[in-house]
Amino acid sequence: MNEQQPSIIPLAEPWLPPACAEAVRRQVETTFVGPGSASQNFAVRLAEACEVAAAVPVSSGTVALSIAAQVLGLEPGDEVVVPAYGVISVINAFAVIGLKPRLAEIDASTGCIDPKRLSDAMTANTKAVVYVDFCGSIGPDLDEVAGICAARGVPLIEDAAWALGRGHPGRRGGSFGSIGTVSFSVPKILTTGQGGAVLAHDDAQRDAAIAAADQGDINWRRTNLNNSIGSNLRLSDLAAALGNAGLDQLEERWERKRRAYSILSKHLGERLFRAADGDAAMQHIIFVERPDDVVAQLKSQGILAARQYRPMYHHPPYRGLRDRDFAASEFWFDHSVYLPFGVGLTEEAAERIAMAIDRLNCRFMSARR
């Protein structure tokens, strides 16, 4: 008799309860699926959740970053500082519109830009700095980076892709920078499949973001006259309907994350990565000597862990950006393993992962230095 194979625990399973399907069904029944009232309502509610003046939903978090740079007036050839380690979409968002990326080293203990190393990255030509709230963390380093940027008169773009609704009253993810962005891709706390938003501090930023996402002109649909050049980067009402359902459940979504993280933390202790702000890390990460071996061991048990990111200069288009020592970024690449972390992760699955980690044949490493 064959031994039953363990069920698969995906790396980033979303949580889509029946209310999500019902919201999309109701939107379909209206026969209006293009950007309209649902998207407008989503924008208003997003701004309230993030405690900013306005939100402009767009087709992806990557697009939101590109638009944020354009709203700040950055032009092709301008230099923008981005974290040296992380998801490729961050650096691509700026390079694709002709900006010149420059890398800032991360703090090995947080995964975020290291304020102590930021001056090494900034030059007289730096026109913006991009701070990624890595794993959703809104820690003291963010305030320090914001202070450095303010002192130099350089705008700060806060990529709060992982931090929607996180923080405390008056200081929510996406509200710390000169402009902010969020993402709604599948692994995020709220998903629309793909999608994102620009978080604006005033009407001028809002209107510039709307124009950038809608053919370059905020009024052309009313006047039938387009005064600028742009593209169509808006979020559909179908996606917005799913987003609105997610906003209805935002606190419940965070509670699911915190419960799963708490179980892992209880079992794994110091072996589990901890976000700088003390809240549950959006991604569940351990550091080991031989990450490929650990990924294979977990996969054999139906647990789909991964080696998720790498330093930006490992990617061929950005090889020339390695102009300094990036030891912390290399440490993360060499030793991090991303355990399943989706909002759909159950407490039972978290227990199973924790027990599997305890059985691993490996040497653990520490990112705290």
Which residue ranges make up each domain of the chain? 18-248, 250-358
Buried b (16+ CB within 10 A) or exposed e, 356-365: bbeebeeeee
pLDDT at 369: 55
Structure confidence at residue 3 (pLDDT): 60
pLDDT of residue 169: 77
Which amino acid type is present at position 297?
Q
The rounded percent of the chain whose pLDDT value lies above 70 is 99
Angle (CA) 237 240 245, round 5°: 130
The structure's pTM equals 0.96
- State the chain's mean pLDDT as an integer: 96
Residue 171 has pLDDT above 50, yes or no: yes
Residue 364 has pLDDT above 50, yes or no: yes
Q: Do strands 310-311 and 85-86 pair parallel, antiparallel, or not at all (unpaired)?
A: antiparallel
Is the pLDDT at 5 greater than 90, yes or no? no
pLDDT greater than 60 at residue 48 = yes
CB 198 within 8 A of CB 209: yes
The CB-side HSE value for 250 (13 A sphere, CA atoms) comes to 15
Indicate if the pLDDT at residue 74 is higher than 50: yes
Query: Within 10 A of 319 (CB to CB), how many other CB atoms are there?
Result: 10
Range in 1-15, 28-42, 64-78, 322-336 with the lowest mean pLDDT = 1-15
Collapsing DSSP to helix, strand or coil, 286 comes out as: strand
The pLDDT, as a whole number, for residue 343 is 98
Q: How many residues does the chain have?
A: 369
Domain 18-248: assigned CATH number: 3.40.640.10
DSSP state letters, 1-67: -PPPPPPPB-SS-----HHHHHHHHHHHHTT--SSSHHHHHHHHHHHHHHTSSEEEEES-HHHHHHH
Strand order in the sheet with 179-183: 54-58, 196-200, 179-183, 156-159, 126-132, 79-83, 100-104
Q: Contact at 8 Å (CB) between 20 and 349?
A: no
Query: Quick check: helix, strand or coil at residue 183?
Result: strand
| Distance between CA atoms of residues 158 and 121, nearest Å | 17
Whether 89 shows a pLDDT value over 70: the answer reads yes
What is the pLDDT at residue 190? 97
CATH class of the domain at 250-358: alpha beta
Backbone angles phi, psi at 196, to 5 degrees: -170, -175
Residue 98 reports pLDDT greater than 80: yes
Helix (H, G, I), strand (E, B) or coil at 345: coil
φ, ψ at 19 (rounded to 5°): -60, -30
What is the pLDDT, as a whole number, of residue 367? 81
Compute the average pLDDT of residues 285-308: 97
Q: Three-state DSSP class for 91? A: helix
Reply yes or no on whether the pLDDT at 282 is more than 50.
yes
* The pLDDT value given to residue 1: 44
| Residue 72 binned pLDDT confidence (cut-offs 50, 70, 90) | very high
Tokens 């906003």 correspond to 247
Q: Positive or negative CA dihedral for 166, 257, 270, 132? A: negative
pLDDT computed for residue 267 by the predictor: 96
pLDDT at 121 over 50: yes
Interatomic CA distance for residues 97 and 66, integer angstroms: 7
Is it the case that residue 8 has pLDDT exceeding 60?
yes
285 touches 336 (CB < 8 A): yes
pLDDT of residue 306: 98
Task: Please give the backbone phi and psi of residue 248, each rounded to the nearest 5 degrees, phi first.
Answer: -60, -30
